[in-house]
Structure 1
Amino acid sequence: MNRLKTALSIGFIIILSVLNYVSADNFNTSIKENTLIKAFNETDAELLEIDMNFTAKINDTYLDLDNLKKLSEKIINKLNIDGLKVDKNLFQEMYNNDNIANYYCEDISQSNDLIQLTIWGKDKYKRTITAIISSYKDPYDGNSETDLVIDVVQEYTKGLKKTIDEISNVYSSFNARPEITTCIIGTFNGKLKEDEKIKKVSKALYSINGRKVEGFFNDSLISISAYSPAIDEFIYTGSNKMNINIALRYNEYEDKTYIWIGTPIITIGY
């Protein structure tokens, strides 16, 4: 079903399928997320937000638009997205408004073989939620499937495990278990010197017994892939295990240095 993976707008699905994601049977989200928070706290960065991505196939059937809309209503209820549905453009204009939690919007894209319905909204805990339901049928071999991607952004570390458990329960209702990637984003005032950035990364890795696997360095960006035994899951990059990704980049417009710490990789733009 490679055509489906290409069609989806969340690119990390492709990355994880290529890198061979491995998860231990005794999966423990609290250990993984606490390890990530521990590494982040060692950098002394100011927390901006935490982004959590979930993805899984929820059935082996193709849903037409009517059934996809019915499914979206169920998912909206499960995600506790309340309020009035509004036009997407109006929703984007109101995005920073305190009352945005009272509204949500939908967008539908459709072709002969793929229907994708996207939901944007906030819940009562002010978490920003994006849900993408994609249903696909292969015109050549007759196979079909429906996938669900949920992205949750919150601006606090409290209740992180609760958030993950809640979203995982949505997938459990479809007898599915999602792949999960988590990324913590923070900032430092001003532009950090090269040795300061390296020191931040080193402290973060040392706190979780992390070992550098590979890295990329230039004047504006540092990106490090590493492996920590504190986290059960890992992916392969070449023949090496990795489950931590750390990046730092300076934003000249804001005069801030951003840091991203993700597991197993950073799946959002930086």
Structure 2
Amino acid sequence: MDRKLLTRRKTGLYLLIMMYLVLVPFYQSKAGMKEVELKEVLEASGAQLVEYNVNAHVGILGEFKDIQEAESLCWDLSRRLGVKKAVMESNQSLENVQTWVNGKYKGGQDITIMVQSSQSEAGKESNIIVDLQGNEKLTSIQEIGNELKGVLEKHGDVALSSWISGTFQGQMAKEDQIHIADSVMAQVEAKEIEGIREDNIISIVGYSKMIPQWIQYGGKKVNLNIALRYNAYEHKTYLWIGNPLISIAY
């Protein structure tokens, strides 16, 4: 992985920390509910898989980890997740510590494990984030999420988020994009919370009882985000499906 990509992913992880602080609490629905696989939803749309992401986060209030503790935790999590070709980087100041390991997950996906800790007059706080990115054949986002959760849950409550993207050849008409979005919503029996349907972007946020985890967003339950946009450079129409939200710019 080149240095520019590493820097972009590190910045993205920091932004994800900020997103979690704004969007928590994150809720899990009752056991026994059927979990929907984003991969199956994407396949049903007819889009070709391009990329997917699974992210797990644990926030620990009232705890500050020094650089040695943060690095030790990163290495331990890396070992427990079977990360290969692991490389660690760190930086620190009097009030902030940040360390991360980049490597390869068992399926060859890029994985980053980050421990970020801060302390100030307002208090102490630590965050653990595991971020996985893949573009090869995907078996199950659900299985990956369950493994990340199993490794992290001893450190606190685990918030999982994921998204998957695919493409259609050529420029899809606005009406067809809306049809695709509506079809995805119908497949998971989702209720629309808010949406944008403009010429250059379709973006819908909704809630489905078929998806177990959800967040509070604008005072309402949200666990599904669908977006479509045409990429003129590639001459393809992109589809993103996220739970609970799509955590990248689209």
Q: Distance in 1 between matches of 2:172 and 2:12?
A: 36
Q: Distance in 1 between matches of 2:232 and 2:59?
A: 40
Q: Normalization by structure 2: what TM-score?
A: 0.85
| 1:172-187 equivalence runs, <5 A | 172-174=153-155, 176-187=156-167
Q: Normalization by structure 1: what TM-score?
A: 0.79
Aligned residues: 239
Q: List gaps (5 residues or longer) in structure 1.
A: 1-6, 83-102
What RMSD in Å do the two structures reach over aligned CA positions? 2.4
**Which residue, out of 139, 146, 170, partners 1:165?**
146
Q: List structure 1 segments (4+ residues) > 4 angstroms apart after TM superposition.
A: none
Structure with bigger strand share is 2
| Structure with greater Cα Rg | 1
Distance apart, 1:58 and its partner CA: 5.0
Indicate if the aligned counterparts of 1:24 and 1:232 stay in contact, CA closer than 8 A: yes
Q: Which residue of 1 aligns with 2:180?
A: 200
Q: Deviations over 1:175-201 (max 9, x none)?
A: x22101110111111111111101110
Partner of 1:157, secondary structure, is coil
Q: What is the letter of the counterpart of residue 71 of structure 1?
A: L
Q: List gaps (5 residues or longer) in structure 2.
A: 1-10
Distance apart, 1:17 and its partner CA: 4.1
Q: Which stretch shifts more, 160-169 or 13-22?
A: 13-22
Distance apart, 1:238 and its partner CA: 2.5
Q: Which residue of 2 aligns with 1:250?
A: 230
| 1:1-270 equivalence runs, <5 A | 9-24=13-28, 26=30, 31-34=34-37, 36-58=38-60, 60-82=62-84, 103-138=85-120, 140-141=121-122, 143-154=123-134, 155-174=136-155, 176-270=156-250
Partner of 1:68, secondary structure, is helix
Q: Measured at CA, do residues 227 and 108 of structure 1 come closer, stay the same or move farther in structure 2, by a change above 3 Å?
A: same
Q: Measured at CA, do residues 166 and 235 of structure 1 come closer, stay the same or move farther in structure 2, by a change above 3 Å?
A: closer
Q: Deviations over 1:238-269 (max 9, x none)?
A: 34322110011111221111111001111122
Q: Which stretch shifts more, 157-166 or 209-218?
A: 157-166
Distance apart, 1:22 and its partner CA: 4.2
Q: Distance in 1 between matches of 2:167 and 2:160?
A: 24
Distance apart, 1:210 and its partner CA: 1.4
